[in-house]
Structures are given as structure tokens and as C-alpha cells.
Amino acid sequence: MKRKIIPIGSLALFALLLLVMLSTWLLIKPPAPPPELEGVLRPEYRLLAPFDLVDHNQQPFNRENLQGKWSFVFFGYLSCPDVCPNTLHELNRFWRLLSDETGEDPENLQIVFVSVDPRRDSPHELGDYIGHFNREFIAATAEKRQIDNFARQFGAGYVIEEETAPGQYQVAHTSAIFLVDPLGRSVATFSQPHYAATLLSQYRKITSYFGSAG
């Protein structure tokens, strides 16, 4: 039985192909994220699926509105007694810290507050509410099915509790802030407690990491 002889030229070509593939992988392999971002960056960066909300100006707010900017997304409701106003207060302080660094409002960043209580939170009421914190912020809501579709993509949950009086009830909801990158991918989660200086430090590290990775 004759042994099949592989031409030396074919072996050399195969070795060269492997070398090219290894070099390419090393070039595109992203650097390891900073240790302090462990537990903040998501293990996978998933592109958000289509969704349809309405903002406080009664304009459509959908996946296209998240393209081209970093977006901080927070879920809550207008009657929230503490978590929502405290978080929006810190997000406003975070925004001001960024503005102070450059002397102008950040152009590649947006803050999006999504109400999970559309029964009571109309776009007009959302506009009045969000304006107390920062007129550059965006508030949005939708009918329940669309809110659930959007919130589910972040792993954000909420529960409408029983009424204590007609139209009076609390909403238990996720207190985390979510970060969407300019490609429309959910890339990070900031857990409580929220402090403006910490958000700024983490945001700087994340944008720097994605800049070096991309």
C-alpha cells in the first residue's frame, strides 16, 4: 500500500494560511477590560431588537434613536417616591460634570428615562417631570407590550402592585442604569447606589476601552 505524499508546497501554503489567521485574530482580539469594570460590562454585547416608544414630545422613540450616541437608560415611574428622583438627580450631576470638562453639553450622549406606568404617566406629564432634572434628558413610554419588549432586552423587571386607593399604587422596578453603545448594543449595567462621580469614572473607562477595542 502506497503512502499518500502531500506536496511540500501545499504544507507551506497551509502553514502560511494558519499564520495569517493567527495574526488576524491577534489584531482584532479586544484587550482585556480594566478589572474595575468587572461586573459592570456585560459578558455579551447584544444589538437591541426593534422597539417602539413615544417620547415626552410625543415623537416616536425607537432603535434608530439609540444609534450614534452613548445612551444611559433608566426605568421608573413618575410617582416613584425615592429611587427615580434620586437616580435622575445623580444622572443630572453626572451630565454637569461632563459639561464642566468640555464647557458644553455632551453631544455624543443621551439620558433616557422610560416610564413603566403608562396608565398614569402621559408624554405631557413626562415632559414636565424630566424638565425638573434636565431639559436635555429624554422621557418616553408606550403601551405595556412595547415597554415589556424593551425592558426585557436589558433584563429589567417591574411589577405593578395592588391599589391602596383608586388610582393609587406603587411599582416595584429595577433600579439599575443601563448603557447602550453608539452601535445600539447593551454593553453595561450600573447597579445601585448611583453616584455621579462613580458614573463618570466608569463611563470614561468604558468609552476608553471600547475605543481601544474597536
| Contact predicate 93/117, CB 8 Å | no
Residue 35 maps to a domain = no
| Contact predicate 99/60, CB 8 Å | no
Residue 97 maps to a domain = yes
Spatial strand order of the sheet with 138-141 comes to 41-47, 185-190, 177-180, 70-76, 109-115, 138-141, 52-55, 60-62
Residue 10 maps to a domain = no
Residue 75 main-chain phi, psi, to 5 deg: -105, 140
Q: What pLDDT score does 13 carry?
A: 63
Residue 12 maps to a domain = no
Extract the residue ranges of the chain whose pLDDT is less than 70: 1-30, 212-214
Strands 171-173 and 177-180: what pairing? unpaired
Range of the domain at 149: 42-213
Q: What pLDDT score does 172 carry?
A: 96
Residue 59 maps to a domain = yes
AA letter at 204:
R
Q: What pLDDT score does 9 carry?
A: 58
How large is the greatest C-alpha to C-alpha distance in the chain, in angstroms? 91
Characterise 103 by phi-psi region: left (phi > 0), alpha (psi -120 to 50), beta (else): left
List alpha helices for 103-195, DSSP H. 123-131, 144-152
Instruction: Copy the grid coordinates of residue 202.
Output: 466608569
Residue 51 maps to a domain = yes
Residue 24 maps to a domain = no
Residue 27 maps to a domain = no
Nearest to 203 by CA among 91, 104, 65: 91
Nearest to 181 by CA among 108, 105, 90, 114: 108
Cα Rg, the chain, nearest whole Å: 23
* CA atoms within a 13 Å half-sphere pointing along the CA-CB vector of 151: 25
| pLDDT tens digits, 54-79 | 999 999 999 999 999 999 999 999 99
Number of structural domains (the chain) is: 1
The C-alpha atoms of residue 188 and residue 131 are separated, in whole angstroms, by: 26
Q: CATH number of the domain that 197 lies in? A: 3.40.30.10
